[in-house]
Amino acid sequence: MFDIISLSRKRNHYIFPATLLIGCLLLLIGCEEKTTSKTTSISIAGKIINPITDYVVIRNYIDIQDTLQLNDKGVFDKKYKNIATGFYTFVHGNEYQSIYIGPGDSLRWRLNTKAFDESLAFTGATSKENNYLIKLFLETETNNRKILSEYQREPIDFKKMIDSLTGATIKQLKKIAKENNFTDDFVEGTERIIEFNSWTRLERYAYTHFGKNEILKSDFLPSNFYAHRHKLELNNTELLNKYTYRPYITSLVSNIALYNCALKHGSGKLVDRNGFEYRSEKLNVIDSLFNNETLKSLFAGNETRNFIRSRKNIAEINKLVDQFLELSEDEQLKNEITKMAATYINLDPGNKLPDFELYTYDQNTTQLSDQVKGLSVLFYWSDKNETYALRIHKLVNGLRSKYPEINFIGINLDDPKSKTWREASSKFGFNESSEFQLVDNQSISKQLALRNENRSMLIGPELIILDPNINLFHYKIETTLLGYLSR
């Protein structure tokens, strides 16, 4: 449930049954956070090296959502006559980052998608603020990994350590802000980024320290352990522009939902963190936490999508989707979730996979059915994620030598107009006779619910689906494959 934080008491004080706990929180979060942004004229521009799509998005979740096209050199450019100063979100592909727009005439940035965060650099107006933000992000990622080993500390010591680290980081921010004349608006927003990350660490402590089975021991955490909940101002969409806000909400919801489910059963032992009951309770918590419909739909939609992707049975998928439809007022999102559920249900074991068209390595076309002669594994990859492409091919080569009865078919998801996939196959020595590319990558990706390239499928003769989302990296994968071979 709780991975590395990524930008992923006593009972009568802070942990309560769901209704009392959420009611208490709502008293703290009912009002929108007040903002005092000013307007400015500014030109923004940037260059994307190795772009994943042909556009970038700039938005603030209030009144700005601009899609800026990249030219053939990966450059975007836009001039604003009146734009509010403050934090914005910059999106490209599946990556996003917080940026700050302040008074000035221009802001420029550059990045390479092969190392999105590490390569991001700014020049022009508020470049110092934005370069500080990305430096803080990278330091936060590193420190969150280091702190994993500290979760076994006793609660009082852990809380003191987190508070101390948070105080030191904020102190350093204020020192740098004074040296560089950062605005109060920027400093206050960045403090909140630091605080949300700190609060995420505290929300993850109970599960990481006690474990799922003993989660009810969190009743005996110090009375001030969750004191940060008194500072909550969650019903403000502008908080989405702070990159630590989403991980915090995810951790808060997970912590409360797990505790509530464990309290119902008398122990965490009977709580299935991949099951319907737990995911349904997460939606209940989200529904109670948020009166802001945008935020409620966003976080509830994420939980519903994740459950659909986890391949639970059809009845449970339909039940959770129905719960989401009752909760959300976002008609577009409701339609998207409904279609997604239908897609995954169509991919259930026993159904037939669409017989889609493929390019061969020599640029001829073939049908998938012509390549599937028996038990087959389809694994998808993209040159945009070179690390995964190399990793999956190395694994498949080992499995292919051990199980020649199984046909391992590599399917590339890159732009069919590009030579990238053939160049990558040649460069890395992939098995050209078993490598193909989707002809209609956009349409088929939707039909197969290919959220990204990190997915594999096991199919049998006549394209019958055996496992729509097999984990080739699972430590028991060979036992699984042998089981299918012996059928």
* Domain extent at residue 463: 357-485
Residues of the chain with pLDDT under 70: 1-37, 311-312, 451-453
Encode pLDDT of 224-258 as tens digits. Answer: 999 998 877 889 999 999 999 999 999 999 999 99
CA quadruple 185, 191, 197, 202: dihedral positive or negative? Answer: negative
Domain boundary among 102, 135, 168: 135
**Residues contacting 485, CB < 8 A, separation 6+:** 375, 403, 405, 406
Q: Are 74 and 66 in contact (CB under 8 A)?
A: no
What distance in Å separates the CA atoms of residue 368 and residue 356, rounded to the nearest whole number?
6
Query: pTM above the 0.85 mark?
Result: no
Domain at 108, CATH number:
2.60.40.10
Residue 174 falls inside a structural domain: no
> What are the residue ranges of helices labelled H in 231-385?
245-265, 276-289, 293-309, 314-327, 331-346, 368-371
Give the model's pLDDT for residue 424: 86
Residue 240 falls inside a structural domain: no
Give the model's pLDDT for residue 69: 96
CA quadruple 446, 449, 454, 456: dihedral positive or negative? Answer: negative
φ and ψ of 322, to 5 deg = -60, -40
CA 197 to chain centre: 16
Residue 22 falls inside a structural domain: no
Q: Please identify which residue in the block is written with the tokens 């590009």.
A: 418
Domain boundary among 135, 158, 190: 135
Pair type for strands 376-381 and 456-459: antiparallel
Domain at 415, CATH number:
3.40.30.10
What distance in Å separates the CA atoms of residue 78 and residue 65, rounded to the nearest whole number?
13
Q: Are 60 and 189 in contact (CB under 8 A)?
A: no
Percent of the chain with pLDDT over 70: 91
Domain boundary among 111, 135, 159: 135
Residue 428 falls inside a structural domain: yes
Q: Are 358 and 441 in contact (CB under 8 A)?
A: no
Give the model's pLDDT for residue 37: 64
Residue 92 falls inside a structural domain: yes
Helix (H) or strand (E) holding 411: strand 407-412
Residue 323 falls inside a structural domain: no
468: which DSSP letter?
Answer: T
Percent of the chain with pLDDT over 90: 70
Give the model's pLDDT for residue 39: 82
464: which DSSP letter?
Answer: B
- The phi-psi region of residue 401 (left if phi > 0; otherwise alpha if psi is between -120 and 50; otherwise beta) is alpha
Q: Quick one: which of 19, 62, 12, 60 has its CA closest to 287?
A: 19
Q: How far is CA 465 from CA 24, 349, 461, 469, in A?
A: 48, 5, 9, 10
Residue 75 falls inside a structural domain: yes
What distance in Å separates the CA atoms of residue 53 and residue 311, rounded to the nearest whole number?
29
Give the model's pLDDT for residue 451: 61
Q: Are 366 and 436 in contact (CB under 8 A)?
A: yes
Residue 464 falls inside a structural domain: yes
Q: Which two tokens stand for residue 63?
A: 């009144």
Q: Which two tokens stand for residue 271?
A: 């709580």
Encode pLDDT of 379-435 as tens digits. Answer: 999 887 888 899 999 999 999 999 999 999 999 988 888 778 888 888 888 988 999
What distance in Å separates the CA atoms of residue 138 and residue 145, rounded to the nearest whole number?
11
What distance in Å separates the CA atoms of residue 77 and residue 4, rounded to the nearest whole number?
35
What distance in Å separates the CA atoms of residue 299 and residue 297, rounded to the nearest whole number?
6
- The phi-psi region of residue 11 (left if phi > 0; otherwise alpha if psi is between -120 and 50; otherwise beta) is alpha
Task: Please tell me the total count of domains within the chain.
Answer: 2
